[in-house]
Copies of this chain bind each other. A is one copy, B any other.
Amino acid sequence: MANRIDAQLAFLTEACKLKSVLRGTTLCDGSRRENSGEHSWHIALYALIMAEHAHRPINIDRVIRMLLIHDLVEIDAGDNPIHGDHDPAAIEVIEQAAAARIFGLLPADQAAAFRALWDEFEAATTDDAIFAKSIDRVQPVVSNLASGGGTWPVYKVTAEQLYSRVGSKVERGAPAIWHALKARIDAWFASTPNS
């Protein structure tokens, strides 16, 4: 038992580092960049509140578990903003190694179970993972809209980019939410000069 608790606390202490990984999005009030730890809390809450809008039947508790662990690999790999330039193949190699290292801190049974859950999220083929990926894309849009466009001007984001990079994923898992977001996105671009 003692060894088991030691391993679990080592994992949980390592996980603390996710609070120091900064994302491309700010808080809703625009006061500072968001970190991946608080983002993980916020989207778990998003999923809990918006589960009724899932396109297909989901197990919301599995979705929440996925979202609690989905970004841990960023401790080694960093955050790669959706509107930034990066090499997906190179990032995948780093994230796979990060998953092996970080989940490997847990007792073997938990390491295997949580690695499998992360693999399922990444593959995005099950209904739970598809909804989890949708929610992960919804929250930054809402935060950007709340802070008057947030980091969209910085990344020179267009409405078409949002349709293709965000809309396609959100619509796949939660079409009603995308319908509501698209109306807000269109209103923002219509009212913002030079956007």
Contact = CB atoms under 8 A, between A and B. Distances in A.
A2 interface: yes
Interface string A16-32: 11111000000111010
A36 B42 CA distance: 11
Given A2-B180, A37-B41, A12 B106 contact: no
Contacts of A31: 20
A13 B180 contact: no
Task: Determine the main DSSP class of A at the interface with B.
Answer: helix
Interface of A: 1-2, 5-6, 8-9, 11-13, 15-20, 27-29, 31, 34-35, 37-38, 40-42, 44-46, 48-50, 53, 61, 64-65, 68-69, 106, 110, 139, 142-143, 146, 176-177, 180
User: Closest 3 interchain pairs by CB?
Assistant: A41-B41, A16-B28, A61-B61
